[in-house]
Amino acid sequence: MISHYLEQASTFARDIDNLILLITLTVGFWFLLAQFLFFGFILKFRAQDGKKAQYISGENKWEKRWVSLPHYATLFFDVLIIIAAIRVWQDVKMTLPQADSTVRVIAQQWAWTFVHPGPDNKLDTADDIRTVDELHVEVNKTYHFELQSRDVLHSFSVPVFRLKQDVIPGRTIKGWFKPTMTGGFDVQCTEICGIGHGIMAARVLIENAADHAAWVKANAPQVAAATPADNVPTGGSR
């Protein structure tokens, strides 16, 4: 349903979309049923001259089924949705599969700094590649990300990955994603962070192995290079 509008660019995007579809179908059925009864009753029981309304207290056993039936039905479908939702949640937020690489995402008012591990595939070394508002990743590789903030709350959101995680100053929050298609997509800040919140945009550029290697090669600082151009000390607010 969502995929009709927006690419599924990560492994768990499909799971989340399917969960949304499941919820749509289950609650959609009950929604339509309720609206059908609702409008049906309004049409059927319009006031007519000389016809008195029925006197129904809703307290006897048979009438109580009006309440108990939706009660158990809602409970049943709730359980169904809960199980499906928690399975997805477990996968996206509670497990960290073995990573091929780790990127550090540093948010600040109102820009994103992405620290890529560089040729040695290790963070906090001299060959780290720092970029502003541009995240470069390789397709079909599992990435861990470390979120840090320099000032206020931000939120790291990549709609095509169906991924969202708030960034909290003072904390490091870890998560993962695995891109499944190449291309350039929006990264958004989705937690209000001040005046520039509306322009705090970035792009995630998913490249195939060759392009990504070329990009790393072209951008890796020569070892012991000067301070990066954006003049940001390593490790965010540490």
Query: Is residue 128 part of the contact set for another protein (CB under 8 A)?
Result: no
User: Of residues 120, 124, 151, 230, which one binds another protein by CB under 8 A?
Assistant: 151
Among 140, 164, 181, 221, binds another protein (CB under 8 A): 164
Residues 107 and 204: their CA atoms lie apart, in Å, by 15
CA 46 vs CA 43, 51, 74, 91: distances in Å: 6, 10, 30, 52
181 binds another protein (CB under 8 A): no
Cα→Cα distances 110→113, 179, 190, 192, Å: 10, 25, 12, 10
Single out the residue of 137, 154, 140, 166 nearest to residue 192, CA to CA.
154
The yes or no reply on residue 98 touching another protein (CB under 8 A) is: no
Query: Considering only CA atoms, which of 141, 134, 138 is closest in space to residue 105?
Result: 134
132, 139, 153, 181: which one binds another protein (CB under 8 A):
153
Q: How many residues does the chain have?
A: 238
Site residues (CB under 8 A) for another protein, limited to 196-215:
196-199, 201
Nearer to another protein, 121 or 172 (CB): 172
**What distance in Å separates the CA atoms of residue 94 and residue 172, rounded to the nearest whole number?**
15
Candidate residues 2, 99, 132, 181; the one interacting with another protein per rule CB under 8 A: 2
Q: Which of 93, 125, 214, 229 binds another protein (CB under 8 A)?
A: 93
Instruction: Please give the Cα distance from 147 to 165 (Å, whole number).
Output: 8
Per CB under 8 A, which of residues 4..23 are in contact with another protein? 5-6, 15-16, 19-20, 23
# chain residues binding another protein, by CB under 8 A: 93
Contact 191, 89 (CB under 8 A): no
Q: How many CB atoms lie within 10 A of CB 115?
A: 24
Question: Is 11 or 155 the residue whose CB approaches another protein more closely?
Answer: 155
Residue 3, interface with another protein (CB under 8 A)? no
Q: Count Cα atoms within 13 angstroms, Cβ side, for 22.
A: 16
State the minimum distance, in angstroms, from the CB of residue 175 to another protein.
Answer: 6
Q: Does 52 bind another protein (CB under 8 A)?
A: yes
Q: Which stretch binds another protein (CB under 8 A): 113-121, 151-159, 207-215, 225-233?
A: 151-159
Please select the residue that binds another protein; options are 170, 226, 231, 233, rule is CB under 8 A: 170
Residue 194 phi, psi dihedral angles, 5° rounding: 115, -165
Separation of alpha carbons 234 and 238, rounded Å: 8
Shortest gap between Cβ of 184 and another protein (angstroms)?
A: 8
State yes or no: residue 75 binds another protein (CB under 8 A).
Answer: yes
- Is residue 99 a contact point for another protein (CB under 8 A)? no
